Structure 1
Amino acid sequence: MKIAFFSSQPYDITFFNKCNKDFGFDLDYFDMALDEQSVNLVTSEFDVICVFVNDKVDAGVIEVLSERGVKYIALRCAGFNNVDLEVAHKKGIRVCRVPAYSPEAVAEHTLAMLFTLNRKIHKAYNRVREQNYSLNGLLGTNIYKKTVGVIGTGNIGAVFCRMMKALGTEVLAYDLYPNEQLKAEGIRYVDLDTIFSQSDIISLHCPLTPETLHLINDDSIVKMKSGVMLINTSRGKLIDTNAVIQGLREKKIGALGIDVYEQEEKVFFRDLSETILEDERLQLLTSFPNVLVTAHQAFFTDEALTQIAFVTLDNLKQLDATNEIIGRNAEL
């Protein structure tokens, strides 16, 4: 089986090549994202394309893949909002993903962002490097006994709920499908309005769907506590960037941590240090002292990358051998 990887980074090549020793697939790597132009790199010799979060797998791209005889689209991530599943199914192309690679990795990064913003570690780090040892402007609060709202309690959200519960916070959760085990552990499920109005900290862990697009917007921000901390390590388009910028200006949002961004496909996973950033909204966000931006690195641990490579290749092995994937919710 021959696989074309798009949006390939050096670490993808390292981990997939290492894992592939046990599978023996033929792997080709392209560093560009998949879109209507780069899809022409897919020739009839490829059985599979393997894509990541910012690759564009829409109807037009799938039409070309179908013409070239591609049998499988393998997502090396959990989210699949960038794939037109309906068209893929119509064309007979099977789609699989990695539903749970390391929920701890993303939850831990969320926690790191929370602590960094609250205790202003990023500002303190820069000050000390400049031999400024003043504490003025670095005042934080205790996380203990705060109210934390978690939107989305799938694999990652559930881990984050338990982390926050262990820190002595009151955890409120929202999900269309409540986790009964979390309920038994003292996590209280409420509606979104309650999350918005009662939470000191709100963390997003839900998928991007038509219903969750711009879940955080002008209307939802108005309902929030003044000074709320908002963290998003899920999908960038859950947040209306313009609304959040206004919320920061009005001090309604006291701190913002984002590992994902609405227009990240034009910026993230690239070294732009020698260029002028054209995205004015991202440039503005990074100018706020109470905003922390990381470039979609929440998943980026050794354990997660190892699991992503194994599950991706194992999904394809099972599909090719048995026409189904057994034991995990991986096929779409």
Structure 2
Amino acid sequence: MRIRPIARDDIEGLQALSQQAGVGFTSLPDNREFLAGKIEAAARAFEERTPVDDRLYFFVLEDETTGELAGCSAIVGQVGREVPFYHYRLGTLAHSSVQLDLHRTIDTLFLSSDHTGDAEVCSLFLRPEYRGEANKHLRSGALLSKARWLFIAQFRDRFPAKVLAEMRGVFDEHNRSPFWDSLGKHFFPMDFDEADRLTGLGQKSFIGELMPKFPIYTTFMSEEARACIGQVHRHTRPALEMLKKEGLRWEGYIDIFDGGPTVEAYIDDVRAVRTSRVHPVEISKDAPVQSVSRWMAASTAMNAFRAAWIGRGPGEDGTLVLSEEEARRLEVSAGDTLRLLDTQETS
């Protein structure tokens, strides 16, 4: 298994991933024309042919045994520069009556664009057959998630100070969002799927046009909907846990459609960014291999970026010895460099 930039001929594989992702996965809609545009935008970003603040870095997890795409993940250089980037910010209003000696605090939701200009890690999806503790690909999700931090660390000057990640919200057994049913559907003359589809396609102007500009009192929402605020979909919990281990935290911002949390951090405080290091490479056919390794490595080239698990850490002199198979997978030669992450330091 290895991570690589998406290629222009990956359209069939990416559309297959989008069809498996399903409802609520806003950044990966099942729309071939849109996905082809996303691939082209990513290709131009890796070729550094677009402005830094308008770059989408899109990665795929490739199963080398089958050639299939097992998953995907992405980084948006800066959000909200071209299309408004909305959240609800959870706040509190205090009310009191001195005469009656009554005091009450009420949770509120404010429409916000506070994250404009931040980077975003997004579009993390792993096919179901590559999930689960009993699966030999148990660590594929970790590779998909953490490889992005190695990329950001290697090309730190291409990114702003802060990074965020939007987490998919709660859906019931009928694939309905209680948060949407209690709030969104009263302002948008469409169902959740259509609103989600339009947002995924980048058509977000209707949000600012139709949503109220004044605070929304959560007490007017159903109890079930209030319970969804800041909570994640059951399939999103592993991804959230990985982000929390890297240091991202929920600061009170939620998705306007499903109420899922947005977690955030200063990039320089993210553990994998802080602790990864660059090492020179040597190649040996006798390199020892551990059955389960804690080491993740990524190449230091932009357009030829590769990331994978490797079988050992650096030697005392700082040199990283790769097996011939590892060198082939990462597409490096003796004398090249790799950015190395000890995942035990970020677990």
**Which TM-score bucket, shorter chain as reference?**
under 0.3
TM-score by length of 2: 0.21
TM-score by length of 1: 0.21
> Is the helix fraction higher in 1 or 2?
1
